[in-house]
Amino acid sequence: MIWTPGVARAARRIATAAALGGGGLTALGATAYALLMAESVVARRVIGRPHGMEALESDGVYGHFDGPPVVMAMLGDSTAVGLGASEPSRTPGVVLAKGLASVSERPVRLAVYGHSGAPSAELGGQVDRLLEEGVPDVAVVFIGANDVTTQTPPGVAVRHLAKAVRRLREAGAEVVVGTCPDLGTVRPLAQPLRWVTRRWSRQLAAAQTVAVVDAGGRTVAFADVLGPEFATNPGEMFGPDRFHPSDRGYAQAAYAVLPSVCAALALWPEPRPARGEGLQPIYLAAATAAEEPGTEVSPTSVAGQATGPYGRWVTLFRRRLGELLNNA
């Protein structure tokens, strides 16, 4: 595990700024920002937009089972809708829906409300549309990358996310958030852009964890876009634009989130924490999760108290898909 106190301090400052209405950390000065934006333009020219901006339609009912369907909603950005997937069945929402159907032995009705290019500020509108049609059993949110690429102040981004999660929880939905991936893994980005985006991505992910847990949801860390395979096998894990995941990459993202979705719906017992996991203060857990792909953070209490001397109590652990399937 790689953890630095700086990430925890950054998460605390961003979360505090979000709660007080401020913008949080500013990662760059004006001169550095201008340089990075110029590099971003070059990177975009290299990447292009081979997928366009429209994702494949994937709403529907999945799983050949009897009984009332589990209702699952997908919200967020292009990774939530599976931009670049080769067919609807390869989008993360459909992979999740089929996995959830297998575990629950019930059909799953999937409704996708996310769209490509969405920053956290657009989550409110997505939640509006979702709640107009009813309350899902679980809402899965993938968000954060566009907040980094548009240099949205982290406190502002986190505030929008927290509000969306709180609204969904108050309506009665379980919420699982895949936090901001580490954009420093995107190959066309040159230094120092890659270094800065890595730092900013992980600080935002840690702050997202604090805000989501405080609002009653769970987070799953995407960190370096779900593991070393993306760094060692970029040709297989990234799609043609070298920014969005490939079919295999989306499947890995869905498999990382599926155990937490099942746990949120009480379909899988809580695991016994391994070494370095278990009960932790929120800021330590958030910083740890930002560096460890696939790590879940969820709220808990100690002796009936949700908060301790170092902030809210949470549990941190890595759920393992194989264990979930064995328990199903």
- Residue by residue, pLDDT tens for the chain (328 residues) are 444 455 556 556 655 554 445 555 444 455 555 555 555 555 555 444 444 456 689 999 999 999 999 999 999 998 899 988 889 999 999 999 999 999 999 999 999 999 988 999 999 999 999 999 999 999 999 998 888 777 788 888 999 999 999 999 999 999 999 998 876 555 545 555 555 666 777 888 888 999 999 999 999 988 654 444 444 444 433 444 455 677 888 888 898 899 999 999 999 876 666 666 778 888 778 777 777 767 888 888 888 888 877 778 888 877 655 454 444 4
List the structure tokens of 182.
């580490």
Those residues whose C-beta lies under 8 Å from the C-beta of residue 257, and which sit 6 or more positions away, are 92, 96, 140, 176, 178, 220
Which string of b and e fits 274-287 if b means at least 16 CB within 10 Å?
eeebeebbbbbbbb
The reply to whether 111 falls in a domain is no
The reply to whether 126 falls in a domain is no
The reply to whether 90 falls in a domain is no
244 as an active site residue: the answer is yes
Compute the C-alpha angle 258/280/159, nearest 5°: 65
Report whether 143 contacts 77 (CB < 8 A).
yes
pTM, rounded to two decimals: 0.81
51 as an active site residue: the answer is no
260 as an active site residue: the answer is no
The reply to whether 251 falls in a domain is yes
The reply to whether 283 falls in a domain is yes
The single residue of 244, 246, 247, 298 carrying the catalytic annotation is: 244
Distance (Å, rounded) from C-alpha 256 to C-alpha 269?
17
The reply to whether 322 falls in a domain is yes
The reply to whether 188 falls in a domain is yes
The single residue of 40, 59, 89, 241 carrying the catalytic annotation is: 241
The single residue of 51, 58, 77, 78 carrying the catalytic annotation is: 78
Domain of residue 242, residue span = 5-47+149-327
The reply to whether 41 falls in a domain is yes
Number of domains in the chain: 1
Distance (Å, rounded) from C-alpha 281 to C-alpha 206?
13
Report whether 82 contacts 45 (CB < 8 A).
no
Helices (H), ranges, the chain: 5-20, 30-47, 78-81, 92-104, 123-133, 145-149, 154-171, 193-214, 228-232, 234-237, 247-264, 282-291, 321-327
